Structure 1
Amino acid sequence: MAAGGFCKLPNGTVVVALNLPSPVVDAATGVRVLVLAQNRARALTRLRNLGLRAVYLRGNAAPPTPDEITAVLHHPDGLIWRTAPGPTAPAVPELWRPIRSLLRKPVAQP
């Protein structure tokens, strides 16, 4: 994991942002995942319960931006992702998506 960080909100909840490699999206870029939870440990537990076992947050190198915080606060699940910014990422950022669209198993084509 290249970068990650967190931001504690005035109501006591925490928004955790992580850059993760993704087998679905371009491996060089990866994905940026945002999680809203009561604390950092619960945010990481939410990701681990979805099957992302090797997720750790060390330091606060890339905390969520105000736009990212707004996006995760307005999503009903409080768990979203999009392609991480990088050299191959588009100039215009794409929309945030629910985490289930990332973890959905691809349908086998005959």
Structure 2
Amino acid sequence: MSGGGFSKLPNGTVVVAVSLPSPLGDGSPARYLVHAGNRARALTRLRNLGLRSVYLRGNAEPPTPDEITAVLHHPDGLLWRLQAPTPPGLWHPFRFRASA
């Protein structure tokens, strides 16, 4: 499972969203959001946190306005939440993965 996209903001930075397996290890899908100076830096931030095989091919699933707002209001600019057929869960800082 992988899908994602990006949105370039008026100030020149980007928000990248990718769908990958959950950091909980249960195989459920999760949506990761990263705010960075450019797409390459956003993907590097994810890779540095242990998501080694993260690539962004195309822009099929860009972040929604609500997702952009969530990541811009987080001090680290890096969030994830479960994607389920039911309404998605709450946003979590990526630090949660390190303590799980």
Q: Give the TM-score normalised by structure 1.
A: 0.83
Q: What's the Cα RMSD here?
A: 1.5
Q: Specify which structure has the higher proportion of strand.
A: 2
Superposed, 1:56-95 pairs within 5 Å as 56-84=55-83, 89=84, 91-95=86-90
* Aligned residue number for residue 9 of structure 1: 9
Please say which structure displays the higher CA radius of gyration: 1
Gaps in structure 1 of 5+ consecutive residues: none
Q: Percent of aligned positions with the same letter in both sequences? A: 71
Gaps in structure 2 of 5+ consecutive residues: none
Q: C-alpha distance in 1, partners of 2:23/2:46? A: 16
* Aligned residue number for residue 44 of structure 1: 43
* CA pair 80-23 structure 1, distance change in 2 beyond 3 A: closer
Is the 8 Å Cα contact of residues 23 and 97 (structure 2) preserved in structure 1? no
Matched, 1:100 2:95: yes
Is the 8 Å Cα contact of residues 5 and 62 (structure 2) preserved in structure 1? yes
State how many pairs are aligned: 100
Offset of 1:18 from its aligned partner? 0.3
